[in-house]
Amino acid sequence: MLRVEHLSKTYPNGTRALTDVSFEVADGEFLVVIGLSGSGKSTLLRCINRLIDPTEGKIFWDNIDITAATPADLRHIRRNIGMVFQQFNLVKRSSVMTNVLSGRLGYANPWLSLLGIWPDEDKKRAIKALERVGIADKAYNRADALSGGQQQRVGIARALMQEPKLILADEPVASLDPVLSHSILQYLEQLNKEGITVICSLHFLDLVHRYATRVIALKDGIKVFEGSAREIDRAKFKEIYGEEAQEVRATAL
Amino acid sequence: MTRNALIIAGLVVVYLASYRVTQIDFVKLISEAPKAQTIVRAFLTPDLFVRDFETTTIRVPFPIPCGSAPEADIVSSGPRLVPSVKCAAEKDKFTLEGFSLAPNADIVVRWHFPDDRVLTAARTQTDDKGHFSVAVDAKPIAKSINGVPSQLEVDTNTAVGGWKASQSLKDVMQEIFVTIFMALLSTSAATIIAAPLSFLAASNITKRGVFGAAVYYVTRSFFNLIRSYDPLVMATVFGFWLGFGTFPGVLALTVVTIASLGKLFSEAVENIDTGPIEALTATGSNRLQTVIYSVIPQIVPDFVSYIIYHWDINVRISTIIGFVGGGGIGFYLSQRINGFEYNKAGTAIWAIVIVVWAMDFLSAEVRKRLT
Amino acid sequence: MTDNTTRRSPFLSGLFSAIVPGAGQLYNGQRYRATAILVGALVVLGMVVWYGEPFWYISPVIIWLWNIWDAVSLSAGRTRSILAPVLFSLLATYGIGWQVVQINFKSASIERAVQIVRPMLRPDFVTLRTEKNSIWVPVQVPCAPNPPKAENEINGIKAFATPNCASVGETVIVSASGLWPDTETQVWWQTPIGDPKMLGENEAAMLVIKTDSSGSLTTTIRVPSTALAAAPDPTLPFQHRVYFEQFRPIGGFVISSNGRYVLQGMTETLALALMATTLSIFLAIPISFLAARNLMSANPLTFGIYVVVRTILNIVRSIEPLIVAIIFVVIVGLGPFAGVIALAIHSVAALAKLYSEVIEGIDPGPIEAVRATGATWVQTVRYGVVPQIVPPFTAFTIYRWDINVRSSTIIGFVGGGGIGFFLIQWIQINDLRAVSAAFIAIAVVVIVLDTISAKVRERLV
């Protein structure tokens, strides 16, 4: 169970990215965060695993205060939270295998991992993760030899290596075409059904309807809506975002 | 319009000034070109292989007067002397021809008297085929004594044994190895120093806070300052300090390469994609693991490519650093040129061409594979 | 790595590798590994044999042993780490390299460095502005009957010598009055043909005397031993001169004589680089078309030209301009022109290669598009080809000009003009203050040009 309380973030240059955001996520939910670009979705997700330190507010995960964790504790917390990125964030010149294995760094022996030595069970786990996303045959290719959709699947396999209880997905399909988008989100849905909580930011309304169990909407860093996916139809969307919502639709199609 | 006109006028002035300053004189370049003939011809005929020579003396008996002694048998092959007549009376003139002797060589024709005394009879030169022809007097002093005739003799060099590498070829090989090692050591040493320094000169890593910014600008300026010197200029200072030799040459090359590689490295570090760093931090890996798994794989191919590129450049520079006393093939070359031994200099130049060419090719191939 | 079906005999594998390194690996189907081992072993062996020190033979021996072991292991399906042979190759390479280049840190004396750096901290670029006060007196050498009186007066400054004449090596008392008081005065000898001779210790130092409070000085000098060296007949008497010269600062600075040489040298350097680069552009453009594979591979004749041009370019490119300059110094004499030609020749080769690569990389798309509009051949070239090649050509040319500026600082080392010509002389006579001035000038000019050209290239790309 994840609880976010009165979260605010102001960047050093004065930009207010989040203002007093509070919500809860029960275990096993597929929560979608929607909002226009610049509405604070990425900042929110990154505050949860503290890639960005919030200015105010607290985040509790299973009653542990993430915002107050020491660096060592934080690494322990992070390794239970997988993350999937819009730009995949793979090391393009490394092999797919190395990229997937690097998801295991939080568990690995620090010294052996520096030399690039991995236990056999981790290698087996990596192959299994790649099999799950259907690209085990590409394990020894360079990451940049893969297509965008395949790279994102490597990103998911990397997150799986962490055996996460929670996956944060920051616009995982924004760089992909609609067909690939569905295939990636179906992997996330599958993981969600296996009991992993998923928090995913999206800006395509039809994808939200299809996958979300619950939705929160951000506008200029303020939470403006929280409810089920059914409640947020086109009219509601327009009500929240005004005429700009048209642009969102346009880019989605 | 006025702006363009001003630019053009400025360029015209600059070019006219440069033309005067550099004393350009194409007429002289063409009219005086023959002066370079000897040098260029020597460069094009490098001293590569030699054969051992043995000096042999070829003789032909020549009875004076006729009948005073047995006449010579006629030989028709090999190095030989052939007089136009087989014998002569005193004071007669005849022609002596030599065949198959050393080509283009100075020839001294001598009388070898029966009592083993020797007298120069004529001087000449052989042609390309080792042939000469010279007029000789049948001097009374060369009379046969007691039925033993005087002999006409010449010394000639005949090659013995096969071709072998000349001394200068051996020296050049030696110096070429030294040159390659100079490049290798300076590039390696520069890499070891430049790699960590380059992180200090990378804005995305260092430029944080006042202290960071200071470090960034100091390292950057250091790189830019050193880079503005040609390695040869640098070598003069090191030569001053350490005496002339290979070591100051290597040090000078190292210093210039540090600056050059440091700048290239820092640009590679600045261009890394921060996404993977974020992704690995999110998996709970520690800082060192993050660097090793996300930063290093991104920069290593660039680094290696730059290192090889610089090794190539350093081989090139090592070939001339000896001109200012930095050792290696350049020193050999400048010594030979100062001593007007242009054939030997030619050997060095061809060696340089081959090595630089090979390095160029290899480094281009390796770098192509890397990216 | 090899599976059961391709497994080979361990004995044969080992034997093959023992005979030829890598052969056992080849036998096991590892072509790449075999080549690497063979090449590596040959290189290390060649190097060790060339150097000849018995100790280093350990490296090829270990590599050979490892190679046998590796071949045997391969036949059993195991791949061994290449760490050991790589390590030993590197050890031999760097060990021999270290000895070959005679690395000797003991020669790096700090005291010597201080001796060098200290004068370099005071670059000889400007000097105090001074005014000069001088007078000379004639002295006849050697003596003739009735020598003219040895005295002279200019602008109220008087000087005289006794006796009026002397022979080489004899002493003369010279005095001057009416000079500036309490000022150091240089006293030196001038022969009738205008040669200055020093009168200080061993005739190798300047004689400097301070005037008294009334502006007078008196000193004895010895007629220099070389005073008659250039005289047509040493027994003929001639009028020599003894000069007295004073300098005093009048505030402000002027460029010193070495400073002027630095300026002259840098001007030459820049002009040299500019002319060399410009000349090379004109030659490189036509040549680059001949060296572009895509244009020249149409028939065997043009392809032959392509190969010949490429080869010549490669040969010329591998000879440093410094070496080429030697030849042109012989032809046109010392001076910047020799440097211009040498740099231009090298630049032609370098630029033609870069240009030809640009031509080879031309995108046929735009050409097709322009042609599709019904454009003529000239129009196609103008709108389809030129826009594609001009920016990279310009960028490469500016890059070359950068390199040429750096090279032209050293082309003077062999007499090719520019700052290097002065620099090498200052180094030979140990004038570190002048060297330092040259260094500063080089750094300033090169950094400024670098910045400008980087900006220009950024705009182009």
- Output the DSSP codes for B249-268: HHHHHHHHHHHHHHHHHHHH
What local confidence, expressed as pLDDT, does residue A239 receive? Answer: 77
Residue C275 has pLDDT above 70, yes or no: yes
CB A249 within 8 A of CB A205: yes
Edge-to-edge order in the sheet of strand A2-10: A16-25, A2-10, A56-61, A64-65
Q: How far apart are CA A100 and CA C60, in angstroms?
A: 40
Q: In sequence order, what are the beta bridge partners of C243?
A: C136, C188
Q: What is the pLDDT along chain B (371 residues), one digit of tens a residue?
A: 788 899 999 999 999 999 888 888 888 888 888 888 888 888 888 888 877 777 888 888 888 888 788 887 777 787 888 888 888 888 888 888 888 888 777 788 888 888 888 888 888 888 878 888 888 888 888 888 888 888 888 887 777 777 788 888 888 988 998 999 999 999 999 999 999 999 888 888 777 778 889 999 999 999 999 988 888 988 888 888 888 888 989 999 999 999 999 999 999 998 888 889 889 888 888 888 888 888 888 898 889 989 988 988 999 899 889 888 778 898 898 888 888 888 888 999 999 989 988 888 888 888 888 76
* Residue range(s) defining the domain that contains residue A114: 89-163
Are B283 and A158 within 8 A, CB to CB? Answer: yes
What local confidence, expressed as pLDDT, does residue A245 receive? Answer: 57
Domain co-membership, A104 together with A10: no
CB A127 within 8 A of CB A140: no
Domain co-membership, A145 together with A29: no
What local confidence, expressed as pLDDT, does residue C304 receive? Answer: 92
User: Rounded to a whole number, what is the distance in Å from the CA of B220 to chain C's nearest CA?
Assistant: 12
Who wins on pLDDT, A234 or C62? C62
Which residue from B minimizes the CA distance to C440? B225
Residue finishing a domain among A129, A148, A163: A163
User: Rounded to a whole number, what is the distance in Å from the CA of B299 to chain A's nearest CA?
Assistant: 9
**Residue in this structure with the two tokens 């009948």, named with its chain if needed:** B67
At C2, the pLDDT band (50, 70, 90 cuts) reads very low
Domain co-membership, A20 together with A74: yes
A10-15 long-range contacts, CB within 8 A, separation 24+: A10/A55
The CATH architecture one would assign to domain B49-163 is: Sandwich (2.60)
Which residue from B minimizes the CA distance to C316? B353
The residues, any chain, with a CB within 8 Å of residue C269's CB and separated by 6 or more, are C405, C408, C409, C412, C418, C419, C420, C445
CATH value at residue A25: 3.40.50.300
**Residue in this structure with the two tokens 């020491």, named with its chain if needed:** A70
Q: Which of B32, B43, B185 sits opposite C97 (nearest CB)?
A: B185
Domain co-membership, A95 together with A13: no
Are C424 and B324 within 8 A, CB to CB? Answer: yes
What local confidence, expressed as pLDDT, does residue A253 receive? Answer: 39
Q: What is the mean pLDDT of residues A66-74?
A: 88
**Looking at chain C, how many residues does it have?**
461
At A243, the pLDDT band (50, 70, 90 cuts) reads low
The residues, any chain, with a CB within 8 Å of residue B7's CB and separated by 6 or more, are none
What local confidence, expressed as pLDDT, does residue C7 receive? Answer: 67
On whether any CB of chain B is under 8 Å from the CB of C326, the answer is yes
What local confidence, expressed as pLDDT, does residue C256 receive? Answer: 83
On whether any CB of chain A is under 8 Å from the CB of B294, the answer is yes
Are C409 and B230 within 8 A, CB to CB? Answer: yes
Q: What percent of chain A has pLDDT over 90?
A: 40
The residues, any chain, with a CB within 8 Å of residue C356's CB and separated by 6 or more, are C288, C289, C291, C292, C293
Domain co-membership, A127 together with A229: no
Domains and CATH numbers, chain C: 4-100 (no CATH), 126-254 (2.60.40), 257-460 (1.10.3720.10)
Domain co-membership, A111 together with A8: no
The residues, any chain, with a CB within 8 Å of residue C240's CB and separated by 6 or more, are C138, C139, C140, C141, C189, C190, C191, C192, C223, C227
Residue finishing a domain among A163, A190, A215: A163
Domain co-membership, A17 together with A72: yes
Closest CA to C356 of C284, C407, C414, C459: C284
Residue finishing a domain among A107, A129, A163: A163
Domain co-membership, A60 together with A127: no
Residues 261-290 in B contacting A (C-alpha not used; CB under 8 Å): 273, 275-276, 278-286, 288-290
User: Rounded to a whole number, what is the distance in Å from the CA of A55 to chain B's nearest CA?
Assistant: 19
Q: Cα separations (Å) of C158 from C154, C155, C178?
A: 7, 8, 6
Q: What is the mean pLDDT of residues A126-144?
A: 90
The CATH architecture one would assign to domain B167-370 is: Orthogonal Bundle (1.10)
Domain co-membership, A73 together with A12: yes
- Torsion angle in degrees (nearest 10) through CA of B302, B303, B304, B309: 90
On whether any CB of chain B is under 8 Å from the CB of C439, the answer is yes
User: Rounded to a whole number, what is the distance in Å from the CA of B18 to chain C's nearest CA?
Assistant: 4
- List the end-to-end C-alpha distance of chain A, in Å, as a whole number: 35
Domain co-membership, A137 together with A15: no
B302-309 long-range contacts, CB within 8 A, separation 24+: B302/B264, B302/B265, B302/B268, B303/B191, B303/B195, B303/B265, B303/B268, B304/B370, B305/B367, B305/B370, B305/B371, B306/B261, B306/B264, B306/B265, B306/B268, B307/B187, B307/B191, B307/B261, B308/B363, B308/B366, B308/B367, B309/B363, B309/B367
Which of B272, B287, B293 should be substituted to probe chain A, the one whose Cβ sees the most A Cβ atoms within 10 Å?
A: B293
C126: tokens are 């400007």
What's chain C's average pLDDT?
86
Number of domain units in chain A = 2
Which residue from B minimizes the CA distance to A112? B289
Domain co-membership, A143 together with A190: no
CB B346 within 8 A of CB B43: yes
Q: Where are the domains of chain B?
A: 2-44, 49-163, 167-370
Where is average pLDDT lowest: A28-32, A167-171, B21-25, B75-79?
B75-79
What local confidence, expressed as pLDDT, does residue B37 receive? Answer: 83
Residue C237 has pLDDT above 70, yes or no: yes
Domain co-membership, A172 together with A145: no
Are B184 and C318 within 8 A, CB to CB? Answer: no
Going through chain B in order, the beta strands assigned E by DSSP cover: 49-62, 80-83, 93-99, 106-112, 118-125, 132-137, 150-165
Going through chain A in order, the beta strands assigned E by DSSP cover: 2-10, 16-25, 30-34, 56-61, 64-65, 81-84, 166-170, 197-202, 214-219, 222-227
**Is the four-CA dihedral A65, A66, A68, A69 of positive or negative sign?**
positive
B22-28 long-range contacts, CB within 8 A, separation 24+: B22/C268, B22/C271, B22/C272, B22/C275, B22/C336, B22/C337, B22/C339, B22/C340, B22/C417, B23/C335, B23/C336, B23/C337, B24/C275, B24/C337, B24/C340, B25/C332, B25/C337, B28/C331, B28/C332, B28/C337
CB B153 within 8 A of CB B58: yes
The residues, any chain, with a CB within 8 Å of residue C429's CB and separated by 6 or more, are none
CB A144 within 8 A of CB A109: no
At residue B59, the 3 state secondary structure works out as strand
Closest CA to C131 of C302, C276, C251, C271: C251
What's chain A's average pLDDT?
87
Residue A252 has pLDDT above 50, yes or no: no
Chains A and B touch (3+ CB pairs under 8 A): yes
Which residue from A minimizes the CA distance to B301? A93
CB A188 within 8 A of CB A82: no
